[in-house]
Amino acid sequence: MITPVIMAGGTGSRLWPLSRSLYPKQFLALTSKNTMLQETINRLEGVATNAPVVICNEAHRFVVAEQLRAIDKTVSIILEPDGRNTAPAVAIAAEAAKGEDDPLLLVLAADHVIQDASVFQEALNNAIPLAKAGKLVTFGIVPDKAHTGYGYIQRGEPMADGSGYVVEQFVEKPDSDTAAGYVNSGEFYWNSGMFLFKASRYLEELTRCRSDIAQVCTQAMANTTIDQDFIRLDAEVFAQCPDESIDYAVMEHTKDAVVVPLDAGWNDIGSWSSLWEVNAKDEDGNVSVGDTMLHDTSNCLVHGGERLIATVGLSDVVVIDTKDALLVADKARVQDVKKIVEQLKADKRGEYENHREVYRPWGKYDSIGTGARDQVKRITVKPGGKLSIQKHYHRAEHWIVVSGTASVLRGEETQLVTENQSIYIPLGTVHALENPGKIPLEMIEVQTGSYLGEDDIVRFEDKYGRV
């Protein structure tokens, strides 16, 4: 049986401002109504698998759980205390999945696009006998151009059954001339970062090639704890793990690496130009999302939010609008968006981490206005959602219910607040908010005080296990 292992880490910084460190690209709906994480799991529909294992970091745990619940998928979610790259992550998944049946691990990234799922499944079927025979299979993307942003895999002798090739070598990202030579030779594939192998075989090869990583991962999994939907590793032990990719740690050193070609419309959506490439275009070569009005505009990507975007006389430009940031970039220079993100991080600006609309396990809030001593938020609490029992030292809050019903704890009293009603929470008062109804609770929160930061929260009790 196959156990899908979905790698859901990463920040997707080149897709800023849609992708933020606390809500990166794998959780965005970029090419369909579903998010990239949801699409990754959905394209396995029809394949006999065990419940997937999703590996993500602590900050993204509630987003992962909610998105998988939305598509009614049962998964195991393993939390990495710190990101240590793909070799340790896959080792953790192998330790979690290994058992009497020794499943095949299908390692997938949560942020890839594969346009033809049937071709992908055909390549997977070709790879299964090889993996069962003890080979470590990687999927090589048939290149359609001399791309300099990907590593390459050179194929060697064909396997006896014709389903794949012995890996001759892995090579780093090449310059343009070298990439052209690779593509023209017909012997090279893009390195997709997708794999299929037995859990036991991966652990055997990792122990042989990098015993230090294997030992730490075994110890970290020996002391896991269960926290609601999540499996937590031993953080102190895992912190000692080296940071290494599966390519460097295992695939470049094993004698059993095999590559299976894949030509299914794959793209890692590593930049805005990649997103332009995979989306349907109008007669002028434009990709537009949202409320847009394009005049004398060609070969552009225009992605709107809540307001109209109009362009005049543009060519080969990317325009990305969000509630709190606007990006305008030359389509040929979109790789440099990462430089903007680095500067935002260095300046400790909030646009690096969060959108104006912030998701929480109980729902979301949107900071719609901020002054020197006041802040206004639109808060949505899903049915059954509850904010923690808390208090603030520096602010008071006034809640106005727009729709739904709120159950409000204020001091020693609990009362229901319904549509068009309001309640005042004085500074320093212990309080909590819950949606006991069957429809989302929509409310406006007006904060006033000398300090309005999110860290002015003293939690006494939280149903989601937050500190």
Cα distances from 429 to residues 169, 375, 425, in angstroms, run 64, 18, 7
215-247 pLDDT tens trace: 999 999 998 998 878 999 999 999 999 999 999
CA dist., res. 337 & res. 272, Å (int):
9
Query: Which residue(s) pair with 446 in the sheet?
Result: 376, 398
What are the structural domains, with CATH classification, of the chain?
A: 2-267 (3.90.550.10), 272-339 (no CATH), 357-461 (2.60.120.10)
Per the CB < 8 A criterion, the answer to whether 205 and 256 are in contact is yes
pTM for this structure? Answer: 0.92
- pLDDT at position 155: 97
Residues of the chain with pLDDT under 50: none
Contacts with 125 (C-beta within 8 Å, 6 or more apart), sequence order: none
- pLDDT at position 233: 94
CA dist., res. 216 & res. 441, Å (int):
45
Instruction: Quote the crossing angle between the two packed helices 211-222 and 86-97, to the nearest 10°.
Output: 50
The secondary structure of the chain, three-state, reads CEEEEEECCCCCHHHCCCCECCECHHHCCCCCCCCHHHHHHHCCCCCCECCCEEEEEHHHHHHHHHHHHHCCCCCEEEEECCCCCHHHHHHHHHHHHCCCCCCEEEEEECCCEECCHHHHHHHHHHHHHHHHCCCEEEEEECCCCCCCCCCEEEEEEECCCCCCEEEEEEECCCCHHHHHHHHHHCCEEEEEEEEEEEHHHHHHHHHHHCHHHHHHHHHHHHCCEEECCEEECCHHHHCCCCCCCHHHHHHCCCCCEEEEEECCCEECCCCHHHHHHHCCCCCCCCEEECCEEEECCECCEEECCCCCEEEECCECEEEEECCCCEEEEEHHHHHHHHHHHHHHHHCCCHHHCCCCEEEECCEEEEEEEECCCEEEEEEEECCCCECCEEECCCEEEEEEEEECEEEEEECCEEEEEECCCEEEECCCCCEEEECCCCCCEEEEEEEEECCCCCCCCEEEECCCCCC
- pLDDT at position 100: 65
CA dist., res. 396 & res. 239, Å (int):
40
**Both structure tokens of 136:** 């470590």
256-277 pLDDT tens trace: 999 999 999 999 999 999 999 9
- pLDDT at position 305: 85
CA dist., res. 312 & res. 378, Å (int):
34
- pLDDT at position 467: 73
CA dist., res. 181 & res. 188, Å (int):
9
- pLDDT at position 229: 82
- pLDDT at position 207: 97
